[in-house]
Amino acid sequence: MRRSVAWLASSGLVIVAVVFLTYCSGERHRAPTALQQEQTTAPSWTVQTVQLGTSLRGVAEDDSGNVYVCGRQGSDVLVAKFAPGVTELWRRVIGGSSDEGGAGIAVDAGGIYVTGATASTDFPTTPGAFRRSKSFNYDGFAMKLDHDGATLYSTYLGGNGLDQPHAIAVDGGNAVVVGITGSTTFPTTAGVIKPSRYPTLGDGSDGFITKLNAAGSGLVYSTYFGVDGSSDQVWGLALDAAGQPTVTGFTGSKRFPLTAGAYDREFGYYKEGFAARLNATASALVFSTFIGGANADEGRAVVVDAAGNSYVGGNVGSLDFAAPEGSFGGWDAFIVVLTPVGGLISARRIGTPSQDKVWAISLGTAPRVGGQTFAGGLFGFVGTPDEHYGQLVYGLSEHFAVGNDGTRGFLTRL
């Protein structure tokens, strides 16, 4: 494996942590079909790594091969664009007088869409934006930039509690944002699946799914997602060809809404992973299923292929889920593939005798997952130590991985 590192020069920039944007090209050998701890021939990748910011969370590619990243630089939002050869074209540092960071990014022909959270009362918003004032100590935000980095719109998104967006996608110029809310006044619209929230003791959060109009001035739809009296979180988002949102996360309730075709209807321990698809107006479920076993499990990321199948990545603490061959740790990664109506196609468990977790998943010529492993040696069933880069992978696109250093990250094609 060849590795070259390009250091980005920026006046006054202090690199607080080693943060990376990694480009991977070339072919690698597929992993064994059986989930056993087996080494394969090392991949023949060309890897280029650059450093920028404090932490990177999101990455997206356009049809020309340009790559867009978001995250944090110090206490501000960082957005940057790179040409296909990993040449920086521009970067924007956006923020107010307090703390904020980018969590997710998407791109289409009309622009670049970024979401995250802010504690600033003076976070920059635009005239006519849906919400121009902050509601609580941390609110979400959504913004659209043009392809040269100029702001087209920027809006707060939140209510009277802690709001934390995790992912963003775009449907015909309309941004769809998902995440976690502790608000009882989070903005919702009529006719959606859960327009209100009535928390009880121990009810820490609901998920939310919100679609903004193309101008960022209003809501197409917005709904809570979860069960009153439970702590529910939405982490991953993908849209199918009809614009229907597929989400994943975890719930603390056996009363979580499931559909008739759900492949898993058994609630395990104090939290259970889920995957769900809503219709294009967020007024009904297309499917909803638990994912997990008898212990704690989490959904973290999802992508949808052209046929409408969902690839869900997450973390499993249950020994009875997709039982592996060999020795695995207390937390392992899982990849579950579902039909367009939520039926099970396949379930795989990936890991080592240590702790292994998925944070991102992507589809290109083949699926890839990224995340972290605390294993001192190889990551379970593929590759070499260099393959993991020694960094935590938070975001994936077809050719790129982003994250930050401090724990052992991994990137693999399944």
Domains in the chain with CATH codes: 46-227 (2.130.10.10), 230-361 (no CATH)
Write phi, then psi, for 211 (nearest 5 degrees): -115, 120
Check: CB of residue 208 under 8 Å from CB of residue 224.
yes
What band does 375 get if pLDDT is binned at 50, 70 and 90?
A: low
More confident residue, 263 or 86: 263
| Of 302, 297, 277, nearest in space to 225 by CA | 277
* pLDDT, position 408: 42
Percent of the chain with pLDDT over 70: 79
Edge-to-edge strand ranges of the sheet holding 272-278: 232-239, 245-251, 272-278, 285-291
- Tell me the pLDDT band of 24, cut-offs 50, 70 and 90: very low
**pLDDT tier, 40 (very low <50, low <70, confident <90, very high otherwise):** very low
pTM of the model: 0.87
Residue 412 has pLDDT above 80, yes or no: no
User: Quick check: 96 pLDDT over 50?
Assistant: yes
Q: What is the pLDDT of residue 152?
A: 98
Token representation of residue 367: 């699926």
Convert 315-345 to b/e letters by CB count within 10 Å (16 or more is b).
bbbbeebbebeeebbebbbbbbbbebebeee
pLDDT tier for residue 203 given thresholds of 50, 70 and 90:
low
Q: Return the percentage of the chain with pLDDT > 90, whole number.
A: 57
Average pLDDT in the chain: 81
pLDDT at 2: 22
